[in-house]
């Protein structure tokens, strides 16, 4: 074999090896970013209409809850308590009086992911009237919610008896208040179960948006 041919084969082998290393590093970085920084998430239901439609994709910031607490108003991905994904919808950790939202989750964390909006945090007292949150005695401004509870005919649209959110917990509700399975039925979510807030939508292209 000539020296030139040997050098060419060696160069080709080095190029292939370099390409393999680049692909491996890129995949490793992508997995690292998804695990610790940014994670994509697909909207599976109509619970966040009109803010998010079924099939939309969002990007979730996983760093926020590592270096600080969530914020009321954030659209957030989290693990709900065990029982929240099953029927019947009422899976509260304790028996609640009628016309009262659940204030006690079951103690186990579910493996499924939900996306809802944080409407109240630790120490807040809330009630719900026609789908709108009354927090600490004052109606909150919620221009983003659907009108499915406007006639008070949706599921659990009005729960007038106040509850207080326990320390280290966050109360989640879908923007589609008459069609959302949320903290009203299975209780607030501990901080440790929160993955992070959604900060952008990236699919479909005609609905790209920054929160």
pLDDT digits (tens, 9 = 90+) for 113-149: 999 999 999 999 999 999 999 999 999 999 999 988 9
What are the residue ranges spanned by the domains of the chain? 1-36, 40-210
Contacts of 87 (CB under 8 A, 6+ apart): none
Residue 36, pLDDT score: 47
116 as an active site residue: the answer is yes
More confident residue, 161 or 68: 161
Q: Which of 47, 84, 127, 146 is catalytic?
A: 47
With beta carbons less than 8 A apart as the criterion, state whether 108 and 85 touch. no
Q: Which of 39, 110, 116, 180 is catalytic?
A: 116
Domain 40-210: give its CATH code: 2.10.109.10
Mean pLDDT across 179-192? 94
45 as an active site residue: the answer is no
Contacts of 191 (CB under 8 A, 6+ apart): 65, 69, 70, 168, 169, 170
Spacing of C-alpha 182 from chain mean position: 11
Alpha carbons 27 and 13: distance in angstroms, whole number: 21
């Amino acid at each position: 074999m000539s020296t030139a041919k040997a050098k060419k084969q060696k160069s080709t082998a080095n190029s292939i090896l370099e390409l393999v290393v680049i692909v491996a590093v890129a995949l490793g970085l992508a997995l690292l970013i998804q695990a610790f920084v940014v994670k994509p998430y697909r909207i599976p239901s109509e619970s966040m209409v009109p803010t998010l439609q079924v099939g939309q994709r969002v990007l979730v910031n996983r760093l926020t809850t590592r270096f600080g607490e969530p914020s009321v108003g954030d659209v957030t991905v989290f693990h709900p308590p065990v029982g929240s994904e099953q029927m019947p919808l009422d899976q509260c950790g304790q028996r609640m009086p009628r016309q009262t939202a659940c204030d006690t989750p079951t103690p186990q964390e579910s493996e499924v992911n939900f996306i809802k909006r944080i409407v109240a945090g630790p120490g807040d007292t809330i009630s719900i009237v026609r789908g709108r949150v009354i927090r600490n005695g004052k109606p909150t401004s919620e221009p983003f919610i659907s009108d499915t509870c406007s006639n008070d005919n949706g599921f659990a649209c009005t729960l007038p008896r106040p509850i207080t959110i326990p320390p280290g917990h966050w109360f989640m509700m879908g923007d589609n208040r008459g069609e959302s399975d949320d903290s009203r039925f299975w209780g607030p979510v501990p901080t440790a179960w929160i993955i992070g807030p959604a900060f952008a939508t990236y699919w479909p292209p005609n609905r790209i948006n920054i929160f």
